[in-house]
Each structure stands twice: as structure tokens, then as C-alpha cells.
Structure 1
């Protein structure tokens, strides 16, 4: 009976494993790890120092958020999400913020991330000019314990400080505390989800997954950020499969996107634009542009629909503010300067700007031609096209325009130093982002908070008061109303004449990777590191489903059958044994 006992002993095991075997047939496939995710850029990194290239360079804006962790970031939906800081609290007025750090975060060299690192960063990184903002302007920084740090701001704010700010390892950077830019950072030791593997100046940055990352390693083994000489080279590399997508806001024009449509294994993603184009008026310079009537006439004379159709083939929308219209803080009731050349001409007539000599150009009340220069950067083809269209629009109402494309460095020097250059009008583009905090510096007192930002040299004390009131207002509805008032003031004062917001057209390959994350700005931008964290190799095709089963058999019937089978086998064995005896 030993064999019968053995068979009987298997019955419970069979009963337990039967449902598990059935479940195995329907289990979901796991997301695969591995692969090199390559992205092409038109700008390259020349250095890994923590200066301007981390703030303003397309590749730099992607590099550091992958290598260096932050206290908190924005989710793909625009919600505040803890990172190195697990939690925080603030004083009632938003001036003092206390952060409680994770205990399991490590630097890439194995050292723990502590409050000392956060304090070191808060005290020293804002000394580098490009990292100073109202939310990194600290009155006091104090380490409470190993994983707790208290930051006291000069000006209170209603959300956590140090947004979009890398936390640096004190044990590496401390010798350079007096001037962080002196450190070449060739090893780039961070605490982020990727580690530096290889860097070649002006060519590429190769990153590898951080296996020890507190949040779990990324799905891809490597990320390659590689620079190309021009967009044609980028597109060729995309077609060949050398890169998976084009980084930082995608293609330069809808025409380029149309050429790629229909290419095998390539899709064109369409996303809300990150950048907004506007006219900046130098209000420091004496002249007719200081007259609000002239600025209003210009605003009404511009045919934005023609810009959208001609320059962007319809892939753009009108802009009326620094705030994206899909955000709750966008004021939907702003004065609209829709195309109306008749009204523009009427405003000028009533203000005394008339064509006295009949040459088609109006004169000022002082007898000078109503003539202005629009400056832009020669490297910006869209801006040059926009300026040419505006020149035609303004000629129709008697304003003469000269378009001057400048070297990009010369342009930036002129537009950010309006008291020195005294330009007339500049076509400008910036990326306000989702929080829209920093963009208001373009409107604050140019001799104070707006210094180095306020390209229009605009100053309205009421605007500054509203700004400081909203930045420390914790009640979302009250803060929204304050920001609405700020937008109304800008729409009435017109230091900036808003033009258009182009959509982002981003090509990406679909044959090898999936899991791309699209947000405002496309698949890869300073507000969206998520594609690099979520993208992964495509899972292997699932096996074909088994043939359709017959009528379901209850588990009790299966169990009974197994028991009966065992008994039959046992009886047969016993009978055979007796016959043999």
C-alpha cells in the first residue's frame, strides 16, 4: 500500500496547484528592463559645471534632473510630488519651511543624502546668479537633525521653495563653496535615477541606470543625449533608428513634421506648446512707444491668425498672457486685441498720429516719422517670419518697421539691458512653465526684483504689490484672483504684446520602446523628465490564447475525479499483488 499512500499524499498538492496553474495562464506580463534610449538634440553641453548650461541649454535642462534629485518635482499632471523630501510643513505666512528627508537616498558614490547636503545647496547654489529666485533667496538655513532642515525665506511663498533645483553633495562640492562654478564636476556625482557613464564635450552625454535609486531603477539601462549639427541630421538618425525621438520640444516646424508622416515606425505627437512669442517694448527709451495709444494700435493691427497659418501651418494658438489658457490661474476675461486695422488706425488718428506728407507713413505730433526697429535673433527663423508679417501689418496702418536680425548673443545683451541698448521692439520667446512663478520677473520693478529680467523696463507699483501678495497666498481661490488682476494690468498697460503659442510636434519611434510621457512641451523638456523615467522596451508579443475551453468543470468535481483515480489505481495495484501471491 506504500504506492497507494504516496498517490493519496499527492491529492492535497494537486488540489492546491490546480488553481495556480490556471492563474499562470492569465498573469500580466512584466515591463521589461534594458536597452539604450537615445535622444537627439541641436544643442550640446560643453561642460558639466552647474552654470548657465544647466538652466538655458536644451541638453543641460535634461541632463541635471536625471542625475541630481530634487526636494520635490511636478508630476506629469502638474501636481507637487515629494522626492528627496518625504514631507514638509511651513509657518503660517509661508516664510519658514521645514523639510523631512528620506532616510534611504544615497549619492552615486554610496554616501547617504542628509540635511547637510540640502543646507549646503540652499546656502551656496543661489550664489550662482542663474539659480537665484524668490524661492531660493534664504534668510537663514538651519540643520535640525540628520534628515531635517529648516529654510527661512526673505520673502514668504505659498508653495515649497527650491523648485527645479538640484541638491548637491556637500562632501564633494564643499571645497568650492565660495564659487561653485570653479568645480568642473567631471564625475557628476548626484543622487538621481541615472548616473553619469561618459561625457564628451560638445558631443554627447551617456547615462546609466542607478541600480541603488531609492525610487527603484529606471526601466532603460542607458540614456544617450547626443547632439547633431542640424535638424536634417537629426531626422536622418531618427529614420535609421539611431535615436528614438528628438529632444527638447521636437521639430522646428510643421513642415518638417509633414515630411515624416507616413514613415514606418514613426509617430508624430502633438502637444500643448511650452513657449510663447510676444513683442517686448522698451519703455525706457523716450519716444512714441511710451504712448499707450501707439502700443494699443500695434496690438490691434497684428493679424495673429495669419501668423498661425503662415508660420505654423495652423499648429499654434493665439496668446494673451504669460499663463497657458488650460491652467486655472489663466484669466479668461482679459481684453482681447483681435485683428482690427480699422480700429488701430482710428486710435492713431485720435491720438494725433497722422500722415501729413502723404508718403504712407504717419508722423508724430512732433513731426517725426512713426517708424520703429524690430530686433530678433538671426538664429530664430520663426521670429524673422513673424517680424516680416508684422512689418506688413503695421505698414497698412501707417507705421514703418525695419526688421533687424542680430547675432543671438548681441540680441540677448540688447533685450536684457534696455537702459543701455534702448531698442524699440523685440520679438521674444520664453517658456513660462506650469507653476508660472518665475515669468513675473519680466514685469517686476526693473531696478529691484526685475533687474536682469524686465526686458520692457516696465514698472507698475500695483503689479508689484499684487505679485508679493499672491506669492504668499495659501488660499488657491484668493491666489487665483490676484494673478487674474496681474494679468489684467499687463493687458491694459501693454509692456508686452502677446502673439502666439506654437504647438509642439514631436516625432518618436514605436518599434523598440514604449511608455513615452507627453505633457506641455512634448516628450522631453525642462518641465518633463518623465519620458526618461517611464519609457521601456516593448514587451514581447503575448503567446496566442489557448483554444476555447469546454463547459467549466467545478473544482469539487476535479477533486473527486483525482481521488477516484487514486483509489482505482490503488485497488488495481492491490488486486495485482494478490494475484501474484
Structure 2
């Protein structure tokens, strides 16, 4: 998303396969992705009764043949330069586009750039743009638009908290971000349809970074025009256009008839409902065409005798990790022994199997299964409350009675906290004798406070989802001392040296081995308690064709059609 891309992995990117998966860039909110949209505290409500044929009061649902009806989440932004969460990214990748994109197999493929060359030293990329690409209003897209868009994202006035992360490899980008220059010197327009980008060192993952929304093209006249905020009527280049956005009610996307890519979108419109009751009940009442399955309904949906089972698609797992994060500069988590104790004191098997009903896969480390560099032999902290109490006694605090108040910050709707959150808090109370206060806040506020390092302890229902399939997107972005997405303020100079070595290592196997070593070192320092990797379950009506649920956020609605 930028991702965690922060996924409201408390429950994010509702209509996407992820989410949650963050940020894209990934921050994601898990409960949100599970469709308890307006009230995430209801994510573990009692199982919904089988609905009657009597329609419940819900928003008017579109029923035209080429209209797809989905649940949706309220996006914190529709500005590509400001995207730091999976919910926003899910809409933005449909409305906007960039030089390159990810296909359903998560491979980097041409988008507006039809081809490119890379210099022998791996630092200069020359992109050749398609000449048939137009903004939604019919205006041609040129290399000048990309230079403007990248420089706008790096302009301090824009206020992007993710531009450094995703564009900082470009020569001059950080100088622009710091207000030292008026342009990004590493972005050069050769002619209307040729763009040259120079980066500071050869980096195998650079092209993948350009698939993140921060690098997408925007229309200067739209952004700087008289109709503000411009994101109420964005003039993008993606397969869909924003037709309507009723805050708290619905978002409507309509087909872009000028779309240059393949396949051309078959849907006339996509309606995302932001409110209106339980999405599961709306699905069973034929008001929604696809929904993620939540904790309340997973058991009956998995039952082979239930008719809904035939409409089930399972994604195991997404490229996401849910975790507890600690600010390592805030007592008592400024002591590594305390952080290690909190790892030993959590029974992750119980959380996964009982609380989450096996909808997560247990996390031993930071990288999710399916991510290059994932180490299936890695063994994380075992459940050992006695060892945890021993570590507390060895810490500088000696006893939990010497701890300051501990506050766990999570996204939520203000009602009862999610059962996963209360289960973790109770487990720490039982095993360590620690009382933890739960602080809930709405998603946009959570993201802002996360970036500002205002949290002492955070996460559980919020995690990180991959922006692109490379371990750099987790280990470097989240744990390098100087990364703006290092929300734990963790800093290990030895880890930084290895991360910087991995950035320029051109041998794939050697690079992955460096990342495996880095992951082990970070786990030893324990800025996180990794808990689980999200496994998504979706119900899709039989007449919806081509719906895909990839493990990361990509433009996917153009593949969908309705055949009743």
C-alpha cells in the first residue's frame, strides 16, 4: 500500500485480496478487510443468522448487467503521492497508473512504459512511453507529466510520508524532499515519449518500487486547478474513473473508455458500499457480488454441506504479516530482554487456532511465505512463560511492578476491542502479570500517529502487506535506522550494513542469504512479536467471471466481467 503498505491490516483494502497489506506500503487493517466496515469491533459478532427473503434496509444496490457490487472501506486519501495504506491503494491502482505495474503473478511488466533499457552499470533507466495513453479527459500523457508527478511527490509542500521510501533511490529525490533543490536531477525528459531516471546505485528491486502509487502519473492541470480538493474529481489514466464518492456511503468507479491497456475493462461500473449493514447478509440477500469472509462466518462457509462453500475462494496466505510492534526508545521496551520476554509470553498457536480460527498462518519470523527470501527453517520464539518471567527479572526493570503504564494502540471503531486484541492483553496479564491499556482510534489517525512514533506498543490487527515481492520491502523499509517507515525506531548499525550490502548485491542467491541473516538478527533484537500471516477467504457469485484475489494489491477489476 506504501504498504505495511500500511494495510489497515487490522482489516484493510476490503475489496482487494489483501488487506492490512499497507500501507500497500503497506499498512493493512485486518478487521476492516473482513468487512465489518463501519464498526470493526463487530468483527467477531455471533454468526449471522441465515437471512430471510425479506430485504433489510440497505443502500440502493445497482443491478445492471455490467455493474459489480462490492463492500468497500473509506480511503484516507485518493492522492497517489500520499498513499501509505492498502485501503487507499486499492482504489488508486484502478484510477491511476504508472510506468510499470504488477501482473496477477506479481511480475513487473510494462504499463505506460512499453519498454526500457538499463545502463551497463545498472543505474540509468531509459523508459519509452506508449503514444496512445491519455488521461481520462483525453489529454495525451507525456514524459513531462511523469517528471512533474515525481517532483510533486518529492516536494515538501505535498507532505508525502512515503516518497522517500519509494522514490528515494532516484538521484536528487532526497535533496528535493529536503527543500534543497527545485527539481529531481535524476529524472530527465529526453523527448515527449522518452524518460530517463538515474538512481544512486544498481538496485535489483528499483523497477518493482515504481509499481507503487507514489510513482504514478498525475495531471498537473487537475492537481493545481481551481476545483479543490482535486482528488474529488481525479483525472487519472487507469482502467476506471471516479464517478461518485459519497463520504461514508459509497464509491462508484466507471469504465475508462480511453484505457490503453489489456484487457479492456468489461464492467461499466463498480460500486463499493461503505455502509449499509453486514456485508455477509448483503451478499446472501443478492445485494453484493463478492465479500471476504470474517471470523463470525468462516466455520459455516467452510462446511462442505453449506451451499456457500461452492462460492468460496481461499488465498493462503497473502504477502502480509501481523505483529505487535514496540517503540524501542520507550520504557519498558527500551530493554531488549523485556521485548524478548513479550515474545516468549505469547501463545501464538492459541491465538491462531482458537481466536483467529486458523484464518492466519503462524508467523515464525518477519517475511511471509511466498516472499523471496522466506526461510521455512526459521524458528521463532517458542511459547515459554517461565523463560519470559526470567528475562523480566534479568532486565533493568527487575520486576513488572517497575514498568510504566503500558498502552497498546490499535485501529478500531471505539466499541469493544477485537477479540484478538483482548486475548493478547489477557495472555500478557496471565503470563507476566502486566496490565495493558487498550487505546483505539480511527484508521487515518492511527496511520498519522504511527508515522509520528507516538505509540509505545501497537499493532495486532494492523500489519504490513507487501508492495512488491522483494524482502527489501519488509526488512529494509521497516527496520533500517534511517527509513521513514521504521515505526519501532529500531536501529542496529550491523543490520544496516547488511541491508545496504543487499541493496546493491546483484547475485540473487547471495542477496537472499543476506536478508535471511538480517531477519535472524532483527528477531534476536525483538522490535516485533510476529503473530501471523493473513489467509483470505472470499465468496464470489457464480456469475462474476475473472475475479482474482492476488496476495498483494494490483489493478484487478479490468479482468472482471458479469455473465448472468
Question: What TM bracket, shorter-length normalisation?
Answer: 0.7 to 0.9
Confirm or deny that 1:304 pairs with 2:363. Answer: no
SS at match of 1:298: helix
Rate the CA distance shift 1:486–1:225 in 2: closer, same or farther, 3 A.
farther
Rate the CA distance shift 1:214–1:410 in 2: closer, same or farther, 3 A.
closer
- Give the structure 1 partner of residue 15 of structure 2: none
- Give the structure 2 partner of residue 462 of structure 1: 494
Further displaced range: 201-210 or 292-301: 201-210
Larger fraction in helix: 1
Give the TM-score normalised by the residue count of structure 1: 0.72
Contact 1:45–1:203, Cα closer than 8 Å, also in 2 = no
- Give the structure 2 partner of residue 205 of structure 1: 251
Match of 1:336 among 380, 386, 404: 380
Contact 2:217–2:236, Cα closer than 8 Å, also in 1 = yes
Q: Structure 1 regions of 5+ residues with no counterpart? A: 1-33, 355-362, 522-526, 540-581
Contact 1:304–1:318, Cα closer than 8 Å, also in 2 = yes
Rate the CA distance shift 1:346–1:301 in 2: closer, same or farther, 3 A.
same
Confirm or deny that 1:35 pairs with 2:85. Answer: no
Confirm or deny that 1:538 pairs with 2:533. Answer: no
- Give the structure 2 partner of residue 504 of structure 1: 536
Between the aligned partners of 2:520 and 2:472, the Cα distance in structure 1 is 17
Between the aligned partners of 1:291 and 1:173, the Cα distance in structure 2 is 50
Rate the CA distance shift 1:535–1:342 in 2: closer, same or farther, 3 A.
same
Between the aligned partners of 1:442 and 1:308, the Cα distance in structure 2 is 24
Rate the CA distance shift 1:264–1:278 in 2: closer, same or farther, 3 A.
closer
Between the aligned partners of 1:276 and 1:190, the Cα distance in structure 2 is 31
Contact 1:370–1:400, Cα closer than 8 Å, also in 2 = no
Between the aligned partners of 1:120 and 1:456, the Cα distance in structure 2 is 33
**Map of 1:122-521 to 2, 5 A cutoff?**
122-127=150-155, 128=158, 129-137=160-168, 138=170, 139=172, 140=185, 141-154=187-200, 156-158=202-204, 159-160=206-207, 161-165=209-213, 167-170=216-219, 172-173=221-222, 175=224, 183-216=229-262, 218-229=264-275, 232-246=277-291, 250-251=292-293, 253-259=294-300, 262-263=306-307, 267-271=311-315, 272-287=317-332, 289-349=333-393, 363=399, 368=402, 372-379=406-413, 384-408=418-442, 411-412=446-447, 414-418=449-453, 421=454, 423-424=456-457, 427=460, 428-433=462-467, 434-439=469-474, 440-445=476-481, 449-451=482-484, 453-510=485-542, 512-520=543-551
Contact 1:277–1:498, Cα closer than 8 Å, also in 2 = yes
Report how far residue 471 of structure 1 moved.
2.5
- Give the structure 2 partner of residue 71 of structure 1: 99
Further displaced range: 261-270 or 69-78: 261-270
Between the aligned partners of 2:455 and 2:548, the Cα distance in structure 1 is 43
Report how far residue 149 of structure 1 moved.
0.5
- Give the structure 1 partner of residue 47 of structure 2: none
Rate the CA distance shift 1:412–1:50 in 2: closer, same or farther, 3 A.
closer
Report how far residue 441 of structure 1 moved.
2.8
Between the aligned partners of 1:413 and 1:517, the Cα distance in structure 2 is 31
Rate the CA distance shift 1:385–1:407 in 2: closer, same or farther, 3 A.
same
Report how far residue 282 of structure 1 moved.
1.8
Q: Say which structure, 1 or 2, has more relative contact order (CA 8 Å, 6+ apart).
A: 2
- How many residues align? The count is 472
Between the aligned partners of 1:124 and 1:198, the Cα distance in structure 2 is 26
Rate the CA distance shift 1:151–1:298 in 2: closer, same or farther, 3 A.
same
Report how far residue 132 of structure 1 moved.
0.2
Between the aligned partners of 1:426 and 1:463, the Cα distance in structure 2 is 23
Match of 1:528 among 525, 549, 554: 554
Between the aligned partners of 2:274 and 2:228, the Cα distance in structure 1 is 28
Between the aligned partners of 2:545 and 2:118, the Cα distance in structure 1 is 40
SS at match of 1:499: strand
- Give the structure 2 partner of residue 360 of structure 1: none
SS at match of 1:400: coil
Report how far residue 295 of structure 1 moved.
2.0
Deviations 1:117-175 (A, max 9, x none): 22221221333314404442332211112211011235653232522236335463474
Deviations 1:238-264 (A, max 9, x none): 223232113xxx23x232334556356
Rate the CA distance shift 1:316–1:175 in 2: closer, same or farther, 3 A.
closer
- Give the structure 2 partner of residue 82 of structure 1: 110
SS at match of 2:198: strand
Contact 2:324–2:457, Cα closer than 8 Å, also in 1 = no
Rate the CA distance shift 1:89–1:339 in 2: closer, same or farther, 3 A.
same
Between the aligned partners of 1:422 and 1:103, the Cα distance in structure 2 is 48
Between the aligned partners of 2:390 and 2:128, the Cα distance in structure 1 is 61
Report how far residue 479 of structure 1 moved.
1.8
Further displaced range: 180-189 or 65-74: 180-189
Deviations 1:7-29 (A, max 9, x none): xxxxxxxxxxxxxxxxxxxxxxx
- Give the structure 2 partner of residue 547 of structure 1: none
Between the aligned partners of 2:263 and 2:403, the Cα distance in structure 1 is 64
- Answer with 1 or 2: which has the greater Rg: 1
SS at match of 1:143: strand
Rate the CA distance shift 1:413–1:62 in 2: closer, same or farther, 3 A.
closer
Rate the CA distance shift 1:431–1:350 in 2: closer, same or farther, 3 A.
same
SS at match of 2:128: strand
Rate the CA distance shift 1:155–1:321 in 2: closer, same or farther, 3 A.
farther
